[in-house]
Amino acid sequence: MLSGNLAFSGSIVVAPDSTQNPLKVAIEKARRFDTIHIKKGLYKTQNIVINKPLTIIGIQHPVLDGENKYEILTVRSDSVNIQGLTIKNSASSSIEEYSGIKVYNANHVQILDNILEDTFFGIYLYYSHNVLIKGNQITAHQVQEQQSGNGIHCWRSDSLQIIQNTIRGHRDGIYFEFVTQSLIWRNISTNNIRYGLHFMFSHDDAYIGNIFRNNGAGVSVMYTKGVKMFNNFFEKNWGDMAHGLLLKDISDSHISGNYFDQNTNAIYMEGASRIELTKNTFRNNGWAFKIQANCMDVNVLYNNFIGNSFDVGTNGSLVLNHFSENYWDKYEGYDLNRDQIGDVPYRPVSLYSMIVEINPPAMVLFRSLIISLMDKSEKILPSITPENLVDNKPLMKQLFL
């Protein structure tokens, strides 16, 4: 049933009836920039293509069901708004990237307040610009990485805003590749198989106020420059070689005000340069910070290290980075002049951590008396740990960030 007799022109109402694909019929009848209102109900859909500027609004979250056979909505026009729909059961494939909503080469698209359930890829952007994805709930129950897609997948796009979405149960919660000048803000990405957020070759983006919890790993940043990561939470990303934040071959970036709690490795950094790591809190992690010897010009300033099994680890003696004025709960020095800065430098790399880096099975000796004695003797007369990896101004009190 289609109706154009509303109080204002340019509006079409779609209701469930026996008509084959009533939404598809409405889109064909609509003029450019019309609004289509979809009434509550179940609509079985077969790859509906939106090829003109339209606003599509769901009333009480009507359900578009792909019956596990089809892609559901495909946007091939600028200025399309999609809001208030429940989109579920797209097809899955190891060859095709079927999605709940796929946007091809389009600008000024808005995808707002939708519920996506059990779609292969949730929202997929391809060569798109100035797109707003806000307030969506994207849920899947995928169990194998090779047979799953991403919650929000963005490729070769720019000027995106990914805001206040909840994503869970996918391969990667959010995936960026060749995406620039974009914002990821206040999203919750949990229980994804691989990463809460994964981005590569994506320069000058900002990631602010997000929560990455219980993922295979929290966030992976690779081959990228100009990253700004502020006030995010990396929590309970446990597992063999799991990380709260993996930084590989990135440069000229700022990581500040983040909270790392209960991760196997809070931060793992390899091949990074010109990084400002400031005002973060590392609490109850296995390793707070692993920095490989091929990193340089990394400034680690004004951070809290509290309750971690190991504060800092590295794989060599070359140190081209700077640690200063951090709070270390393992620091046992003194402050005679009471300026809140320890009078004795602190060496955050323990002998035992160096041994474990070379020989992981040595973890079986963790917390043993012999290891404690070895670490204390190494702090007095360093022989194996990097001599230059030292905080010369350790803080006596925790920073309240």
| C-alpha 133, offset from chain centre | 15
Q: What is the pLDDT of residue 400?
A: 87
Q: What is the pLDDT of residue 213?
A: 96
Per-residue pLDDT tens digits for 145-168: 777 899 999 999 999 999 999 999
Q: Is the pLDDT of residue 356 over 70?
A: no
Q: What percent of the chain has pLDDT over 70?
A: 88
Find the mean pLDDT for residues 109-127: 97
Q: What is the pLDDT of residue 362?
A: 54
Confidence of residue 46 (pLDDT cuts 50, 70, 90): confident
Rg (CA), the chain: 25
Q: Is the pLDDT of residue 7 over 70?
A: no
**pTM score of the predicted model:** 0.90
Of the listed ranges 35-49, 236-250, 381-395, the least confidently predicted one is 381-395
Q: Is the pLDDT of residue 380 over 50?
A: yes
Specify the residue for token string 């996506």. Answer: 116
Of the listed ranges 130-134, 199-203, 380-384, the least confidently predicted one is 380-384
Per-residue pLDDT tens digits for 221-280: 999 999 999 999 999 998 777 899 999 999 999 999 999 999 999 999 999 999 999 999
Q: What is the pLDDT of residue 3?
A: 41
Q: What is the pLDDT of residue 151?
A: 97
Query: For every residue of the chain, which 3-state class applies, written as one string?
Result: CEECCCCCCCEEEECCCCCCCHHHHHHHHCCCCEEEEECCCEEECCCEEECCCEEEEECCCCEEECCCCCCCEEECCCCCEEECCEEECCCCCCCCCCEEEEEECCECCEEECCEEECCCEEEEEECCECCEEECCEEECCCCCHHHCCCCEEEEEEECCEEECCEEECCCEEEEEEEEECCEEECCEEECCCCEEEEEECCCCCEEECCEEECCCEEEEEEEEECCEEECCEEECCCCCCCEEEEEEEEEEEEEECCEEECCCEEEEEECCEEEEEECCEEECCCEEEEECCCCEEEEEECCEEECCCEEEECCCCCCCCEEECCEECCCCCCCCCCCCECCCCECCCCHHHHHHHHCHHHHHHCCCHHHHHHHHHHHHCCCCCCCCCCECCCECCCCCC
What is the average pLDDT value for the chain, to the nearest integer? 89
Q: Is the pLDDT of residue 79 over 70?
A: yes
Q: Is the pLDDT of residue 384 over 70?
A: no
Q: What is the pLDDT of residue 6?
A: 37
Specify the residue for token string 């003194």. Answer: 334
Domains parsed from the chain with CATH numbers? 2-215 (2.160.20.10)
Strand 228-230 and strand 206-208: pairing?
A: parallel
